[in-house]
Chain A
Amino acid sequence: MKKKFIWWGFIALFLLPYSAWAEQSSYVLPYPSSMPGSSLYFAHQTLEKLSKFWYFGDFAQFKYNLKYSDKYLVEAKTLFEYRQYLLASDSLNKSNYYFEKLNGNLLRAKENGKNISEKEKMLKLAAEKHKEVLLLIKNTTPPSFNWRPEKEESRLLNLHKLIDYSFNLRKL
């Protein structure tokens, strides 16, 4: 009995980390870019607005929206880690804003006769990765937070509500 227990213990030891790894999405998120407050942040935001015109076409628009959804999710994660909850919530909202557009881009591409199967796969992988990150954020974040800036009125941030909304948005 004892031997069997040790035996199963060994199997579990090898299989559990593997299964946990296997569930992870292979999608790779970008490095964090400049953060709010940095002198480059404004320049990056201007570039983001201008490059929208460069990303014409259904597939290019898809790439643009996915790129910025990823970017703002990574930004939100970093800000949550530093407990900058107000800025983090803004970033997560921006990530959601871009993510919401992705399905529309693919639908338009399909209407225009383009095969979207690979893009759908990519979107699914991206959504999985986003959900992984959102779960990580949720585990390290309080459900709500009363944000009190120095010279403004305080704001109650329903962090878990926002994270749950973001999570559900990515259920494809």
Chain B
Amino acid sequence: MKVFWFFFGSLFFLTFLSYLFIDPNFFPLKNLYSGIAFQNRGLVSFFYILSVSSLFLSYLQVIRINVKKKLNSAQVVGLISVSSVILFFSYPAMLSYDIFNYLTTAKVFFHYFENPYLVMPIEFIGDPNLLFTHAANKFSLYGPSWVIITGIPYLLAFKNILLSVVSFKILNLIFFWSTLYLLFKISKNIQTVLLFGLNPLVLIETLLGSHNDIVMMFFALMAVYLLTSGKKVISFISLVLSIFVKYATAFLFPVFAYYFFKKGKIKPEKIYFYSSCFMLLIFFLSFLREEIYPWYAIWFLVFVFLTKSKFLQGLSIVLSFFLMLRYVPYMYLGTHFGVTPFIKISLTFIPLAIFVVAFRFIKHRLNFQNSE
């Protein structure tokens, strides 16, 4: 199908684009540094908007095709697999430098044997990672589950920086596919897998940006799934593991408390709905800590497609697209100050407000037509 190739083409173009963003200080890829992204901000921003827009358009088209004539599971798996492979080869620090922070924090713990909650990377004077690590002056921002998990990719890379980046990407790939498997196991519906697994925000932030949110959400989804299956102890362990990746899933405690309050007499779908709502709430509250980062959307996207709420699903897709555009102001202007924050806020909340009004209007019209 043409739309598949269009989707792959857009991903391929984005992967190519990512290499224009190579940090001159990232010495393993120094030879590939061109500086194009920093010297031609307008052009690069345009191409970024173009590729993200085409990705979302083709994503919606694929979803529409699936609704109409149902894609088989092999087609869906193939579609997401090819997308994963393309993005696996992307340069990870195009939109954020978090992967370097993960890598360097892992080094503090597994190489220097220091506590990353007490010793900052910047304290290791002369360490080559300091050249490209952007949050070197911070203690570990992530929980102990994450620090321990990062030991696997870090140690498997045998202290080679490029191999470390690759192994961190493999780690994310494993958790991404595990999440997809879990989504299918829960929903028994390929559409759910497609809605989440092919969402460009999920793909880009997990496989290009290599954010650890997918790891946190895998354990959270596992916890909720086990809870609805009556396996309370393992469910609680999974929730704790999730919380100690990045803390945000602590917001699922009320859902667990409600489940126990109702003595388990509650439909799983409702649990997923409440989980979506609480993760949406913490997503919108995240500005209190720093700002709303696009990859935080993974927190609620994992649950949203397990609900039957068309409102939440529509809102999630609209939000996904405009969150990806939040990168544009910095990409174009090269500063986090001035009008950049204002444009970012506008890009998030104006489309959201328009969607809410439009959704209510359409719903009202449909109700009116039905009553006639």
Q: Which residues of A does B touch, CB under 8 Å?
A: 54-60, 63, 112, 114-115, 117-119
Contact = CB atoms under 8 A, between A and B. Distances in A.
A19 B113 CA distance: 43
10 contacts: A54-B115, A55-B115, A57-B112, A57-B114, A57-B115, A59-B114, A63-B118, A63-B119, A115-B126, A119-B123
Contacts of B125: 115, 117-118
Interface size class of B (residues with CB under 8 A): 10 to 19
Nearest to B126: A115
Nearest to B115: A60
A63 B120 CA distance: 12
B126 A59 contact: no
Interface string B104-139: 000000001111001100011110000000000000
B222 to A, nearest CB: 29
Q: Is the interface of B mostly helix, strand, loop or mixed?
A: loop
Nearest to B124: A114
Most buried by A among B114, B124, B125, B126: B114
A170 to B, nearest CB: 23
Interface of B: 112-115, 118-119, 123-126
B113 A56 contact: yes
Nearest to B123: A59
A119 B125 CA distance: 10
A171 B125 CA distance: 26
Nearest to B125: A115
A115 B121 CA distance: 12
Contacts of A112: 112-113
Contacts of A55: 115, 118
A114 B127 CA distance: 9
B207 to A, nearest CB: 33
A57 B118 CA distance: 10
A60 B114 CA distance: 7
Given A58-B114, A119-B123, 10 more contacts: A54-B115, A55-B118, A59-B114, A59-B123, A63-B118, A112-B113, A114-B124, A115-B125, A118-B123, A118-B125
Q: Which 10 residue pairs are nearest across A and B when measured between Cβ atoms?
A: A57-B114, A115-B125, A60-B118, A59-B119, A60-B115, A115-B126, A57-B113, A59-B114, A60-B119, A57-B115
Nearest to B111: A113
A57 B119 CA distance: 9
A139 to B, nearest CB: 36
A55 B115 CA distance: 7
A128 to B, nearest CB: 21
Nearest to A119: B123
B28 to A, nearest CB: 21
Contacts of B124: 114-115
Contacts of A56: 113-115
Contacts of B113: 56-57, 112
A54 B119 CA distance: 12
A21 B112 CA distance: 39
A59 B108 CA distance: 11
A64 to B, nearest CB: 8
Nearest to B117: A54
A84 to B, nearest CB: 32
A105 to B, nearest CB: 12
